[in-house]
Chain A
Amino acid sequence: MSPDPANASLEPASEYPPELSRLPPGRHGLPREFVIRNQRERLIAGLAEAVAENGYAGTTIAHITRHAAVSRRTFYEHFSSKDECFFAAYDTVMEELRERIDEAYAEHDEWPRAVSAGIEAMLAFLASEPNLARLCMVEALVAGPVVVERYDAAIQSLVPYFKAGREDCPPEVLERLSPSTEEALVGGIASLISRRIIAGKTAELESLLPDLVEFALTPYLGSTEAAKVARG
């Protein structure tokens, strides 16, 4: 696990180093801003744990504060509602996921390798964070229309990574690719990942890598070349 503090924020509260997991009540000499940030992160992690346990609809603010080990009052200092806490959690997870994808994608000059690395990073992150994976790929859909909008936007925001593949395509391929190709690709990939998470197979997500890479590259490279990159 990376020592980056941004990553630490995504850990379930119970996995925090002991000095962070429960701030002692009263005067602890920690800067106020640090305490606030820490509380917010703990609430987000607490929500992810509570939702993994009870589903979004079954989660109450009491569940969240219990997992986060903060008071109800503290919850309301940060968020006005369960939904608002969920949005914050969702945005935090997606931001983190995007960072990982960007980083992996940027390491390669050739587009097929870059896409493959991006998918690999996404699967690795989701597999290593089952609560967060469930939160952003399953519960986001169940949580109601406002979150669904965010989910849709997040999935659609992956389209440009695939569209970049058009740049290297010969003209005859370019001319053939239909406008909705990338949308269908990201939708297909997201749908498969969600189904595996629902089926309780989050830990095995990384085994999907060759299949997803081949699926994603086939429209651009043809299936033989796509399979080579995927399995090579």
Chain B
Amino acid sequence: MRPPPGRQQLSREFIARHQRARIINALAEETAEKGYRAVTVADIVRRAGIARNTFYDNFSSKEDCFLATQDFAAEEALRRVREAAEPIESWQARVGAGLAAFLGYVAEEPALARACMVEALSAGPAALERYEQALQSFLPLFRIGRKVAPHGEDLPETLEETVVGGIFWIVYQRLVLGEAERIERLLPELVEFALTPYVGADAARAAAAELEGGSGAD
């Protein structure tokens, strides 16, 4: 959407933030449509409905804009996951709520998810590094599970990496297949997958079953 007339009354900061968000959205949509490599600054500018100069006021290049997109999405994803999980007491239920928030974000912003979880892998070393950091930012949330696990101290050192890697892979596959809108259906499976190594299959299943009623369409 273009800013309404009379935007002069809005603060400079508001406009700047809004423009940035619009450019990021435009990049995500263009990327989801054409693939990162094929996207040009002209495409982004056209889709965002802004002047070319405005793009360059905010970003130095397409690459710069892509990295900012990744940062934005990773922060927002982590914020949503934390916000959903924090008020809950039991760790199992927190994993469920956090994953629900994550999948909800993916379903809500499929283009952004595709840019950050699919295209990011082939968008160059800096983008890959960002992807890696985003994945790592989720590890501590799972690591807490070692405290509630009966044999927490014996669990494989790399468990969180394989669990998060497995979840990202499943999401990746669904995004590649263009099934983002159905991704929330996977919630019980993914919760069970993530919890089983920590609390055992039965407890994991019970936690997943509790979610099954609450998942799905909003």
Q: Which residue of A lies closest to B131 (CB)?
A: A141
Whether B196 contacts A218 by the Cβ 8 Å rule is yes
- Contacting B at CB under 8 A, from A107-156, are 141-145, 148, 152, 155-156
Chain A residues closer than 8 Å to B161, beta-carbon distance = 188, 191-192, 195
Asked if B205 contacts A176 (CB within 8 A), the reply is yes
> With A178-B188, A222-B200 in contact, is A57–B166 under 8 Å at CB?
no
Per the bound structure, the CA–CA distance linking A219 and B192 in Å amounts to 9
Do residues B189 and A179 form an inter-chain contact, with CB atoms below 8 A? yes
User: How many A residues, CB 8 Å from partner?
Assistant: 42
Measured between beta carbons, the chain A residues less than 8 angstroms from B205 are 176
Indicate whether A57 sits within 8 Å of B124 (C-beta atoms), given known contacts A181-B193, A185-B166, A192-B165.
yes
A186 shortest CB reach to chain B, Å = 8
How many of chain B's residues have a CB under 8 angstroms from any CB in A? Answer: 40
B148 CB within 8 Å of chain A:
no
Supposing A143-B122, A184-B166, A184-B169 touch, asked if A198 and B186 sit within 8 A by C-beta, the answer is no
Chain A, residues 59-75, CB within 8 Å of chain B (1/0): the string is 00000000000000000
Q: Does A208 contact B (CB under 8 A)?
A: yes
Q: How far is the CA of A123 from the CA of B30 in the complex (A)?
A: 38
| B15 at the binding interface (Cβ < 8 Å) | no
Q: Is A20 an interface residue (CB 8 A)?
A: no
* Nearest residue, chain A, Cβ from B119: A145
Task: Kindly state the separation between the CA atoms of A192 and B166 in the bound complex, as whole angstroms.
Answer: 9
Question: B93 at the A/B interface (Cβ < 8 Å)?
Answer: no
CB contact between B163 and one of A173, A188, A210 (< 8 Å): that residue = A188
Chain A residue, CB-CB nearest to B156 = A211
Cβ contacts A to B, 19 pairs, < 8 Å? A142-B121, A143-B122, A144-B122, A148-B122, A152-B176, A178-B193, A181-B189, A188-B161, A188-B166, A189-B165, A191-B164, A191-B168, A211-B157, A211-B158, A212-B162, A215-B163, A223-B155, A227-B154, A230-B156
With A183-B169, A227-B151 known, 14 other A-B pairs at CB within 8 A are A55-B125, A57-B124, A142-B121, A142-B125, A176-B205, A183-B166, A184-B193, A191-B168, A191-B169, A192-B162, A198-B128, A208-B158, A218-B197, A227-B154
Residues on B close to A: CB < 8 A?
35, 37, 121-122, 124-125, 128, 132, 135, 151, 154-159, 161-170, 172-173, 176, 186, 188-190, 192-193, 196-197, 200-201, 205
